[in-house]
């Protein structure tokens, strides 16, 4: 007995529905998300949360850029501090009145090379082509959160020889060496204070980055709860759809199946 036209047409429509459902389920499995039509409210909430996550991601990027800048600054300041310490040792040695002229000149030559090294360090210590120790970091605003007003302002002084008060320092006489010692102590204090500021700023930025990371993790977990597919159940649903599709196709191919058997296969 052949399936009548009504059952055949119904089976064709049902087969088309199953095929669409199977495609949606396969796509959901591939993307590990629930299709939009299954939970519109959850998807709407998830989209808003994804927008928040994007904001946190940008803030994290800005924060880590600033941390990188601070690390570069610390490296340059460490080098300058070493130079200043050596220059102070030379100034102490030059304060000895018993030095010969040749010895004093030798001290002065090394002193000059160290001063030039400071200026060279200031020039070469750059982050994204910004001279971070050359006075170009002034009221730099770092976005440390996804919302307006969540900013940290960072400023770094110029620590070249002129701004450290060492432009005219020399060891050509005992008196000059003594005056240079005083100038060097002030310069060393300036660099030390700047390093302390850089360290404290880096710690604040690192703390902000950790908070951003934790919040992003929690938001991502929440989005996952809302939209991620229950893989085991989804696989079973997909398998069931595939089996029903094959059964429906089989109904259409049979010429001696009763109406009741056809409906039972489709149901």
Q: DSSP state, 4?
A: P
Q: Give residue limits of the domains in the chain.
A: 5-32+229-266, 40-227
- Condensed to tens digits (0 to 9), the pLDDT of residues 209-233 reads 888 777 766 666 655 555 554 444 5
Bridge partners (DSSP) of residue 153 are: 141
Q: Which residues contact 110 (CB under 8 A, 6 or more apart)?
A: 86, 90
Give φ, ψ of 108 to 5 degrees.
-65, -40
pLDDT at 240: 57
pLDDT(84) > 60: yes
Percent of the chain with pLDDT over 90: 47
pLDDT at 103: 94
Contact between residue 266 and residue 249 where contact means Cβ atoms under 8 Å apart: no
Q: Which of 186, 181, 137 is nearest to 165 (CA)?
A: 186
- What CATH fold (topology level) applies to the domain 40-227? f41 fragment of flagellin, N-terminal domain (1.20.1330)
- Condensed to tens digits (0 to 9), the pLDDT of residues 17-70 reads 767 776 776 666 555 554 444 555 555 565 666 556 666 778 888 888 888 899
pLDDT at 210: 84
Whole-model pTM? 0.66
């Amino acid at each position: 007995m052949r399936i009548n036209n009504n059952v055949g047409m119904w089976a064709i429509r049902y087969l088309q529905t199953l095929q669409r459902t199977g495609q949606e389920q396969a796509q959901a499995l591939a993307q590990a998300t629930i299709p939009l039509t299954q939970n519109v409210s959850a998807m709407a909430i998830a989209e808003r949360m994804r927008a928040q996550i994007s904001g946190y991601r940008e803030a994290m990027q800005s924060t880590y850029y600033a941390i990188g800048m601070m690390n570069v600054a610390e490296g340059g300041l460490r080098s300058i501090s070493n130079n200043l310490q050596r220059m102070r040792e030379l100034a102490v040695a030059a304060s000895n009145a018993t030095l010969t002229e040749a010895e004093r000149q030798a001290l002065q030559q090394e002193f000059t090379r160290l001063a030039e090294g400071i200026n060279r360090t200031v020039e070469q210590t750059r982050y994204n082509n910004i001279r971070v120790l050359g006075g170009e970091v002034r009221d730099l605003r770092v976005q440390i959160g996804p919302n307006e007003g969540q900013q940290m302002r960072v400023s770094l002084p110029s620590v070249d020889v002129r701004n450290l008060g060492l432009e005219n320092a020399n060891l050509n006489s005992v008196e000059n060496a003594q005056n240079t010692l005083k100038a060097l102590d002030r310069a060393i204090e300036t660099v030390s204070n700047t390093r302390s500021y850089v360290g404290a700023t880096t710690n604040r930025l690192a703390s902000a980055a950790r908070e951003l990371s934790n919040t992003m993790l929690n938001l991502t977990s929440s989005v996952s709860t809302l939209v991620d597919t229950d893989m085991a159940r989804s696989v079973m649903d997909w398998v069931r759809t595939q089996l029903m599709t094959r059964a429906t196709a089989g109904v259409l191919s049979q010429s001696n199946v009763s109406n009741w058997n056809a409906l039972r296969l489709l149901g």
